[in-house]
Structure 1
Amino acid sequence: MAPPAPKKCLRVQGTDIVDADGKQVILKGTATGGHTNMENFITGYPGHEHEMRKAMLEVLGQEKYDFFFDKFLEYFFTQEDAKFLASLGLNCIRIPINHRHFLDDLNPSVVRPGAFKLIDRIVDACAAEGLYTIIDMHTFPGGQNQGWHSDSGIHKALFWDFKDFQDRMTNLWVEIANHYAGNTWVAGYNPMNEPGDPDHVNLQAWYKRVEKAIREVDPDHILFLDGNTYAMDFSAFKEVLPNCVYAIHDYATMGFPAGEPYLGTPAQNAHLRQSYERKVEFMKSHSVPIWNGEFGPVYAAPSDPNHDTINQQRYNLLGHQLTIYKSDRTSWSIWLYKDIGFQGMVHCAPDSPYIQLLRPFLEKKKRLGLDKWGRDDSAVGHIYAPVIEHMKAEIPERFWNKRYPEVWKLEGHVHRVIRETLFSEIMCWEYASYFEGKTLEELEALAGSFRLEKCVRREGLNEILRRDAEGDQA
């Protein structure tokens, strides 16, 4: 039997998120990334979702294309997934969404018929297990940031340069808020994932605008507002908006192949604390709640040397991060729930039809380091190094890091344009070619590889999350 719905929407009270009785609620959960917003490292394609889908349509034709993606979306998250997450003691699931589920770029003022059906299914499945949900808009027309996960297909964030894009998404949020107004299992709305505003002022202006527009149709739900520069920078924020929680993303480089191994030294733990404190300074100085919307290491594959040692180090890292959040009673959502074996709490089995079909391509993509997320450049770093050195030789040093985000440095921008955009876009056709000639039955089996009962559970990770949740209940 489904639990009774909360009497009222969650709300902000000082530094806390509270329920109808004024009791503090610490939201702890995960995100269904790779589902209603697909990402390259999560499901294995290269580049950007809309480019991959275009290549798949070309190979499969409309009927098979619709069939495959309908089955993928159906199987990726079911009632069984919600039950599993609730069994770990989690209480809130973040739902990252690609705006194209709602809007057609050729008819941008009209919400697609049936657009809410898929999201409603996830919200309802979670509610039936006593799980709150947060609606997260992960992509924006023109791109709200410079990364692959904004699904823009380019390396600039044009959303900030076009009022039309901003109008479009403000209006869409009014539609979403109107649809979910009064739904007390929805913890709130995350209006924009990982903004990348080069001027550091446009974001705050849009937040004020969208907050006002949402409140006209839904005065009750919390807004979860990411900081600028990929939810890591609040230095230019000037004010606090009402009934809003401010959100960081707190990834640690020690959880990735390019970072140093986490050994739990005092210096490493001090660095983790310092990085967190820098990100939450705005929240603490303004006495508002904190939500860590994304964090978590990636994990070595069984075929990687020393994978057991590496993964234990990363479990230890995650555990220490959770102790930091617990000390501040910070709400959080780990990235990621389900994938093909890189970061998820569960992942496709190595002998699943999907992995078996794509294994040669996945191995090639890993060797080429096409995905930005957690890549290993050992096989191709020497190819790109001369390009970067050539540019540094020709560009005066004072200009190397002028391009936003400056933290990417010149190297990051070169890789974004060459590998993550151009190279990956062309590789989409190779990915799609693996699906050529597949029957409906074969396509269903491929999509079915993502059903929970067919997946492998990453027990080391899940046990850490379970213990943290049980600590709240003790």
Structure 2
Amino acid sequence: MAPPTPKACLRVEGTDIVDADGKRVILKGCATGGHTNMENFITGYPGHESEMRKALLGVLGQEKYEFFFDKFLEYFFTPSDAKFLASLGLNCIRIPINYHHFIDDMNPSVIKQGGFKLVDRVVDACAAQGLYTIIDMHTFPGGQNQGWHSDAGIHKALFWDFKDFQDRMTDLWVEIAKHYKDNTWVAGYNPMNEPADPDGVNLQKWYARVEKAIRAVDPAHILFLDGNTYAMDFSAFKEVLPNSVYAIHDYASYGFPAGDPYVGSPEQKEHLQKTYERKVQFMKEKKVPIWNGEFGPVYADPKLYPDHEKINSQRYDLLGQQMKIYQQDQISWSIWLYKDIGFQGMVYASPDSAYVRLLQPFLEKKKRLGVDKWGRDDSQVGHIYAPVIEHFKKEIPAEFVNKRYPQVWKIEGHIHRVLRETLMSEILCWEYASYFEGKTLEELEELAASFKIENCLKREGLNEILRKDAASE
């Protein structure tokens, strides 16, 4: 039996999110990353989604291309997925979206209705299980940040330089708000994932503009607003917009191959606490709710790491410590992520699935080359890039290197972004696509069905941590 529909939209009341009766609601869930917005480490392709899709179109042709992606989108998230997430005690699912589902860049004034049908399927499946949803715009024309997940295919955030791009996405949000304005299972809108505005002021202007445009058609739904520089910096934020929750992303270096292992030392715990406190200082000063929109470690592959059990145990401990910090402040959170091919997901495609078996040689090559930024292990290729990095450091004075935004990447991050995550990954897209050459419709459906929850494995250690926290409220 379906749960009763909420009488009204959730809203902000002081430091809390509350329901129609004024009862506090702490949103706890995950993101459906890899579905309506695909990412390289999640489903195994290199580079950016648009590049990958173009390469696959060239190999498969229009009919097979559309068939494969229709099936992929159908199978990746079904009512069974929503039922599983509800069984863990979660209550809110974040839906990252690639704007291309709604806008064709060659005909940008027309909003594609197929985008609504795609997102509605997830919203409705979640509602049937009593799960709220947050609509998250994860990519923007020109790129709202320098990352692969903005699907711009470049290493600059050009969204901030073109009013046309900003107009286009403001108009899209108006249409989304019109569509969902009466849906009380939608907890709210996350207008922009991980903005990275080099000047720091353009983001505030766009937030003020899109908030006003959304409120004109939908005055009720909450806005979930990410901080600048990948949801980690609120130093330029001066005012609080009404009925808005402010969002951090709180990844810990201890949860990744390049970071120190987490041993639970007092120093490490203090570092986690201080990092979190720095990010939420704005919210605490302004007395508004906090939403941690992304966090979570990655996990070691048994095939690659003989000590994978020890590594993963440390990362579960890390996650548990982070959860303790969030419990203290009773903040809402959404872990990254729900489903992938075995790197970070709560659920993942089986190593015996058609998709993973087909791509296994390529996946191993990608890991060896370290072309995906997320969780990259440089043990096999670090020596190749080290001389390039040293060359840049030697020839460019540090005062000029430090002007390159985001400064936190340092010169190493910028070199890797251009050489590995953009250039090498873009070329590798054609190799990825070649694995699909000559596949029949039946074979393509089997590949897509690798992501059905019935064909996936569950990361029980992770899910048990989430289940316990969800039950602790």
Give TM class, smaller chain.
over 0.9
Provide Cα deviations, 1:5-40, integer angstroms capped at 9, x if missing partner: 100000000000000000000000000000000000
Check if 1:176 corresponds to 2:154: no
Identity, % of aligned positions: 80
Distance 2:306 2:155 in 1: 34
Which structure 1 residue ranges, 4+ long, deviate > 6 Å from structure 2?
none
Cα displacement (A) at 1:361: 0.1
Check if 1:338 corresponds to 2:330: no
| Correspondence for 1:448 | 449
Provide Cα deviations, 1:153-211, integer angstroms capped at 9, x if missing partner: 00000000000000000000000000000100000000000000000000000000000
* TM norm structure 2: 0.99
| Correspondence for 2:133 | 133
Distance 1:170 1:55 in 2: 30
Cα displacement (A) at 1:400: 1.8
| Correspondence for 1:147 | 147
| Correspondence for 2:73 | 73
Q: Structure 1: 5+ residue runs without aligned partners? A: none
Distance 2:331 2:270 in 1: 18
Distance 1:386 1:269 in 2: 35
- Contact 2:55-2:430 within 8 A present in 1 as well: yes
Check if 1:49 corresponds to 2:49: yes
Cα displacement (A) at 1:401: 1.9
Q: Which amino acid aligns with 2:261?
A: P
| Correspondence for 1:230 | 230
Cα displacement (A) at 1:115: 2.2
**Pairing 1:395-474 to 2, within 5 Å after superposition:** 395-472=396-473
Provide Cα deviations, 1:388-439, integer angstroms capped at 9, x if missing partner: 1111111112212210000000010000000000100000000000000000
| Correspondence for 1:362 | 363
Could you say what secondary structure the match of 2:188 adopts?
strand
Q: Which amino acid aligns with 2:76?
A: F
Distance 1:470 1:115 in 2: 34
Distance 1:207 1:400 in 2: 30
Check if 1:13 corresponds to 2:13: yes
Provide Cα deviations, 1:305-330, integer angstroms capped at 9, x if missing partner: 20000000000000110010011000
| Correspondence for 1:377 | 378
Cα displacement (A) at 1:471: 1.2
Q: Which amino acid aligns with 1:104?
A: D
| Correspondence for 1:389 | 390
Provide Cα deviations, 1:22-72, integer angstroms capped at 9, x if missing partner: 000000000000000000000000000000000000000000000000000
**Pairing 1:250-289 to 2, within 5 Å after superposition:** 250-289=250-289
Distance 1:67 1:316 in 2: 42
Could you say what secondary structure the match of 2:328 adopts?
helix
Q: Which amino acid aligns with 1:359?
A: Q
**Pairing 1:204-219 to 2, within 5 Å after superposition:** 204-219=204-219
Q: Which amino acid aligns with 2:416?
A: H
Check if 1:120 corresponds to 2:120: yes
Distance 1:397 1:268 in 2: 29
Distance 1:417 1:115 in 2: 31
- Contact 2:289-2:331 within 8 A present in 1 as well: yes
Q: Which amino acid aligns with 1:417?
A: V
Q: Which amino acid aligns with 2:223?
A: L
Provide Cα deviations, 1:213-272, integer angstroms capped at 9, x if missing partner: 000000000000000000000011010000000000000000000011111111100100
**Pairing 1:262-341 to 2, within 5 Å after superposition:** 262-303=262-303, 304-341=305-342
Distance 1:39 1:425 in 2: 13
Distance 1:395 1:97 in 2: 39
Distance 1:122 1:397 in 2: 48
Distance 2:88 2:111 in 1: 36
What root-mean-square deviation, in Å, do the aligned CA atoms of Structure 1 and Structure 2 show? 0.5
Could you say what secondary structure the match of 2:404 adopts?
coil
Count the aligned residue pairs. Answer: 472
Distance 1:174 1:397 in 2: 44
| Correspondence for 1:156 | 156
Distance 2:311 2:25 in 1: 34
Distance 2:194 2:114 in 1: 27
Could you say what secondary structure the match of 2:356 adopts?
helix
Distance 2:6 2:69 in 1: 34
Q: Structure 2: 5+ residue runs without aligned partners? A: none
Distance 1:392 1:332 in 2: 39
Provide Cα deviations, 1:375-400, integer angstroms capped at 9, x if missing partner: 00010011111111111111112212
Could you say what secondary structure the match of 1:187 adopts?
strand
Cα displacement (A) at 1:113: 3.3
